[in-house]
Amino acid sequence: MVDRVGQQLGNYQLIQLLGQGSLAEVYLGGHIHLGMLAAIKVLHAPLSSEEIAPFRREARVIAHLVHPNIVRVLEFGIEDHTPFLVMDFAPHGSLRQHYPRGTLLPLASVVSYSRQVADALQFAHDERVVHRDVKPENLLLGRRKEVLLSDFGIAILTHRPHDQSPYHTAGTLRYMAPEQLQGQPCLASDQYALAIVVYEWLCGRCPFQGSSALEVAMQHLSDPPQPLRELVPAIPAPVEQVVSKALAKDPQERFASITDFAEALERAGVSEITASAPPLGIKPSSSIKTPPSLSGDSFSTLPTGSSDEWPPIDDGT
């Protein structure tokens, strides 16, 4: 891995490594003129000459996805054939950080978070954009603790027009729809992924697990998920039915839209949800470090140290 701290990409100086995965690295960056913080995602693999124009076209589409629940893409570019995206920096971390694996969320929180994510996805779907990588690591908390869907750029950063292998498609295996595994992602693939997230929030684990990537993939393709009420009997039967429908192997058997899924989930759980508001104002964990704002033209006040202070990017299985 190339250490890019101190380098400049576009108008941003890379200050600190926030996380890394098999596909890309994410840095905290500061605008050299405006003194604004941003997250800069840099792909490991360079683009070939014929891939540059498609990258620019698709990046323009992503940059126009402006919605209250979507992390904005502020800039994109290519330096020495290496593509990068500049995005809004979400200071309060991800829902994965606040709710580690194995955590069961109250139904009210699940409904609220799901509705916000669905609103973001519906906006993208209306523009014919498929996210392809919906997971808790990509659900961030904004400055007002609203949920922000991030990483729309993963599809364009990993797209290779000459690579038709279904196992090289963008996404994260635990949350990947059967048709996406087969190299044919569609709008309903995002609904399936959100349903996996909801399932995990309700019972503490993903429905499909295994000792190898192939085993997990085959479960997505052929095995029904274990009914939620077998794992957590207190879950209302209508909620289990809604999640099961969104997890149908055939995209045509899922809800007609991501909004329909979120609304059905809300209706199914309404009798179990108390009158109190869901805990959207959760406080960041003490392990989540928030860099201070930039002051003047200097970046010297920003935190330094090991990138281990920040959680890694989970883009694997």
The per-residue pLDDT for 46 is: 75
Number of neighbours of residue 58 by Cβ within 10 angstroms: 18
Domain containing residue 262: CATH number: 1.10.510.10
Phi/psi for 236 (5° steps) reads -60, 140
- Based on the fold, state whether residues 253 and 110 are members of the same structural domain: yes
Three-state secondary structure call for residue 257: coil
Domain end position, chosen among 43, 63, 89: 89
Residues 117-164 have pLDDT tens digits of 999 999 999 988 899 999 999 999 988 889 999 887 655 555 444 444
Residues 4-52 have pLDDT tens digits of 888 888 889 999 998 777 678 899 999 999 989 999 988 877 777 777 7
Residue 155 falls inside a structural domain:
yes
Cβ contacts of 235 within 8 Å, gap of 6 or more = 107, 202, 203, 228, 229
pLDDT over 90 percentage in the chain = 51
pLDDT at 193 over 50: yes
- Based on the fold, state whether residues 178 and 41 are members of the same structural domain: no
- Based on the fold, state whether residues 29 and 170 are members of the same structural domain: no
Residues 229-264 have pLDDT tens digits of 999 999 999 999 999 999 999 999 999 999 999 999
* C-alpha–C-alpha distance, residues 27 and 9, integer Å: 11
Which residue range is the domain that position 154 belongs to? 95-269
The per-residue pLDDT for 153 is: 60
* C-alpha–C-alpha distance, residues 193 and 200, integer Å: 11
Domain containing residue 34: CATH number: 3.30.200.20
- Give catalytic residue positions: 133
Which residue has tokens 């996406």? 180
- Based on the fold, state whether residues 69 and 137 are members of the same structural domain: no
Buried b (16+ CB within 10 A) or exposed e, 159-177: beeeeeeeeebbbbbbbbb
- Based on the fold, state whether residues 100 and 208 are members of the same structural domain: yes
* Cβ atoms 142, 148 nearer than 8 A: yes
**pLDDT: which is higher, 210 or 193:** 193
- Based on the fold, state whether residues 73 and 103 are members of the same structural domain: no
Summary mean pLDDT of the chain: 81
Give 129: exposed, middle or buried? Use CB within 10 Å, 0-12, 13-18, 19+. Answer: buried
* C-alpha–C-alpha distance, residues 128 and 316, integer Å: 26
**pLDDT: which is higher, 179 or 20:** 179
Domain end position, chosen among 50, 72, 89: 89
* C-alpha–C-alpha distance, residues 258 and 116, integer Å: 11
Q: Is the dihedral of CA 293, 295, 296, 300 positive or negative?
A: negative
